[in-house]
Amino acid sequence: MSEQTTVPVKLGDRSYDILIGSGLIDRAGQEIAARTGARRVAIVSDENVAALHLQHLTDSLKAGGIESTPILVTPGEKSKGFATLETVTNAILSARLERGDIVIAFGGGVIGDLAGFAASIARRGMGFVQIPTSLLAQVDSSVGGKTGINTAHGKNLVGAFYQPQLVLADTDVLDTLSPREFRAGYAEVAKYGLIDRPDFFAWLEKNWQGIFDGGPERIQAIAVSCQSKADVVARDERETGDRALLNLGHTFGHALETATHYDSARLVHGEGVAIGMVLAHQFSVKMNLASDDDAKRVEAHLRHVGLPVSIGDIPGELPPADKLMDYIAQDKKVARGALTFILTRGIGQSFIARDVPPSAVLSFLQEKHPK
């Protein structure tokens, strides 16, 4: 199988292509050489991904006439911090790359965010290519140019808007991803349907198994997801308006991630988003915006693919509802004083709701998480 499709991201002089398909790593060297002219790159990756796929990428680059220096970090969210940023940035400088040379992010969203940020600050901006290896990274984090790290004050609070010159999403590498990580990424795929593509959501309800199994549906689902995100980003690169729609499910989701101390044994990001999207629909029903049928349909589909769909699905103790409410208020998406939420009028009809009464959110959370 060697289907391939291209999604262009239109951002003026920062425009670039996302190539999506089977066997793309084999062609990485040739594509990067042809499209960027680079002859030297640094490959930032994590130890999991490197053990499985680094040799393959290095060989492909070599075949394209590109010399590469690997820079490996420990897998996991903890690598998205100042300490690893400094290490990676220094390693890029040690590799004696010049401004036109390229930093490749080869891994999941952690690597994309970290390596992209390092690429943006090393020599005030190196060339940058994303080769995302998790489903979440292929459909979400590698598209749109947000890069960054976490601090004690919260997730992704430090970073840069920095667009890659090319994204290569090889759908075969997803075969080595754990089923749980695959499902977590799938939550973000479903999100695009729920934001503004009701037909895509209906298609997913029918075709999700092919996506998980690596059928041609996988490439198609990733392409629609990238196109959806690219459309939003082209309208609002720096998140001053519409781009906030991409946070559907994320306000609740982030509060749950905070409540579980980002312990991935209990909850990974996409799982928090799955629960958050169900909550966003249920809360919209409570606000008389959406029908209960739609909320049930969302819950049923996400549960069907194996995702958690309620606060009770999270293993272990959770703080009480008023504490979750505090986390929501602290979330960076909350503008001073007022609560901004992504709510919905039904499947594929999400919108940005400003001035949501905090008291309504609290009483909803108390209902959903009584204790």
Ligand X SMILES: NC(=O)c1ccc[n+]([C@@H]2O[C@H](COP(=O)([O-])OP(=O)(O)OC[C@H]3O[C@@H](n4cnc5c(N)ncnc54)[C@H](O)[C@@H]3O)[C@@H](O)[C@H]2O)c1
Where does this chain bind a second copy (CB under 8 A)?
82, 86, 89-90, 93-94, 98, 117, 120-125, 146, 148, 151-154, 157-161, 238, 332, 335-336
Cα(180)–Cα(171) distance, integer angstroms? 17
Whether 354 is catalytic: no
Residue from 32, 72, 73, 108 binding ligand X (CB under 6 A): 108
List 151's β-bridge partners, or say none. 154
Stretch touching ligand X by CB under 6 A, among 6-14, 57-65, 109-117, 313-321: 109-117
Toward a second copy, which CB reaches closer, 23 or 125? 125
Identify the CA nearest to 303 among candidates 274, 269, 337, 343: 274
First vs last C-alpha separation in the chain: 52
Identify the CA nearest to 173 among candidates 66, 30, 56: 56
340 marked among binding-site residues: no
**CB-based closest residue to ligand X:** 109
SS3 305: coil
The residue annotated as part of the active site, out of 250, 301, 368, 369, is: 250
Residues near 291 by beta carbon (within 8 Å), at least 6 away in sequence = 285, 346
Identify the CA nearest to 359 among candidates 283, 279, 264: 283
The least distance separating a second copy from the CB of residue 85, rounded to whole angstroms, comes to: 8
Whether 217 is catalytic: no
Q: Kindly write out the interface string for residues 214-253 of this chain, putting x where it contacts ligand X by CB under 6 A and - elsewhere.
A: ----------------------------------------
Among a second copy, ligand X, none, partner that 134 touches (CB below 5 to 8 angstroms by kind): ligand X
Toward a second copy, which CB reaches closer, 206 or 336? 336
The least distance separating a second copy from the CB of residue 263, rounded to whole angstroms, comes to: 23
| CA diameter of the chain | 61
